[in-house]
Amino acid sequence: MFGYRVPAPDQAMLISGGRRGLGGAPFRVVTGHGKFVLPVFRKTRFLTLSMCEAEVTETCVTRQGIALHVRAVIAFKVGNDTESIINAGQRFLSDQGQMSVLTGRIFAGHLRSIIGSMTVEEIVTERQKLAAEVLDTSKVEMAKIGLIVDSLQIQSIDDGEVGYIEAMSAPHKAAIQRQAQIAQAQATQASVEAEQVAARNQAEYARQTAVVRAEYSAQVDRAEAQAAQAGPLAQAHAQQEVLAAQTELAERAAKLRQQQLVGEIVKPAEAEAERIRVLAVAEAERMRIQAAAAASYDRVALDRMLIDQLPQIVKEAAGGLAGANVNVLNGADGLGEIAAGLVAQGLTILDSVRQNLDGRHPGSDGDRDGDGGDRDGDGGDRTDNRGLEPGREVTP
């Protein structure tokens, strides 16, 4: 917009013409924002607020009367407050480069004053103290012209050809040289020791290498000897295995032959013996059965023969009664009883003969019915010795 002015971030805009500024200043100060300025009626100028630098090279005399050439650098700027801007604007607005020149001269005077109250030793060893004192003494004067100092650095201090500073440093140099020599000697000793350690390590390594080589050579010799013996040992081992295999084969052949002999001779002989025993047992059983059968047959035949002879025996017994004088008391019944008595006597005779025959043939059961030959259990005494029933009288 026409007539609207804005200062840069590191600038202060000074507007003159119109009403006065703060504290009766002939201009108004604007920073950080724009302002509408009437053309022709108002005039605008800009004051830099950026960092500036001033270099001071001055010959100063110390309290000891020794001249020192001192070089320092001052970093300064216009203060940010309105009062500092007004003070700096009134002094440097038309020629802002004069700020560095004036600042250098101010610090040169304060530097000569401070160094004149100090010794060379203090100046050399306490540079920070020197800079702090110079800043402190120049602060009020710099504030009057609207400037502030950010830093003061003493870059160099030199006494020219006097040699005071060098003489002052001689003891330190000697100490440093002595320390350097000691360090060099220690380094040399350490180097020698390191060389000795390295030599010992090399010797130890050579010894270990020789031992390893000897062990390796011994192992190679043992391996070669074992390899040389491996052939005969393998051959002997193979022969031993062959002998063992042959022995085992012979043992198996012997066992097989033994089994063959058992199968060819022993087993047939045992079978033949068993067959003969079985035949003998069978033959004995057959003979026993035949003997039993023969005895049974003889007995049956004898019984048949006795039975066949029974009528004859009864007949002969009856013939004995033919000439006898027998009185029959009860008629026909008496005759029947006489006949029955004769038959009973025949049977008794038959049993007696059978028992006698059974005594001659062992194993027979003798009495078939278990009553000792007495069929009716009365001991064969149904009649008296004459075959008559008791109580009946028969007279001859």
Residue with tokens 């390899």: 227
Task: Mean pLDDT check: name the lowest of 166-175, 184-193, 229-238, 315-324.
Answer: 315-324
Please write the tens of the pLDDT for every residue from 13-53.
888 877 766 666 778 888 888 777 877 778 888 999 999 99
* pTM over cut 0.85: no
Task: Note the pLDDT of residue 367.
Answer: 44
**What mean pLDDT value characterizes the chain?**
78
The full set of domain ranges for the chain reads 51-168, 321-396
C-alpha span between 112 and 252 (Å, rounded): 130
pLDDT digits over 298-317, tens only? 666 666 676 676 677 666 65
Share of the chain above pLDDT 90, in %: 13
CB 373 within 8 Å of CB 324: no
The tokens for 65 are 């009367």
Report the CATH number of the 51-168 domain: 3.30.479.30
